[in-house]
Amino acid sequence: MLERTYDAQVCSVARALEVVGERWTLLIVRDAFHGVRRFEDFQRRLGLARNILTDRLQRLVAAGVFERTRYQERPERFEYRLTEAGHDLWPVIVALRGWGDRHMAPSGPPVRLEHRGCGGEVEHRVACAGCGQALRARDAVMLPGPGAPPAAPEPVPAGAGTAS
């Protein structure tokens, strides 16, 4: 999506940002999670230029995040629905919302997410699959994975670089 600017980077963060790192893209995806499906509705809610919205939707369809389906025959009308891959972006949205709530919302969170029926707060957490402990960056170590390039860089501690 970013003209593969990050292509030299064998990194899933960089690859994810190729698809969803472009301006407006994650807000389009956010609105899709709110039930928006039609071009006119995205356009009205986001207030972005129509040509940019057209471009972003086309790219998201090409990347497999949205599925474009016809909902009316005469005249032909299409809607955009999240695919399973698109749906898997929910944790990214929730994590961004959590950070914004914490650091960019002086009057408090504009919205809150509740577990339907249960009423519990929806939270995004990073934890150890082994022991279950909630983790901060300094608790993690980064190692080459199965998709690492042949000359993988030295493992570096994921928790380095903190001011605190």
Residues 33-52 that bind a copy of itself (CB under 8 A): 33-37, 47
| Contact residues for 155 (Cβ-Cβ < 8 A; gap 6+) | 141, 142, 143, 144
**Near a copy of itself in 112-151, by CB under 8 A:** 112-116, 118-131, 133, 135-149
User: In angstroms, what is the minimal distance from the CB of 18 to a copy of itself?
Assistant: 8
Query: Is the torsion defined by CA of 139, 19, 82, 99 positive or negative?
Result: positive
State which residue, 54 or 69, has the beta carbon closest to a copy of itself. 69
User: In angstroms, what is the minimal distance from the CB of 142 to a copy of itself?
Assistant: 5
CA angle, corner 133, sides to 128 and 139, nearest 5? Answer: 70
For the chain, the C-alpha Rg in angstroms (whole number) is 19
User: In angstroms, what is the minimal distance from the CB of 123 to a copy of itself?
Assistant: 5
State which residue, 76 or 163, has the beta carbon closest to a copy of itself. 163
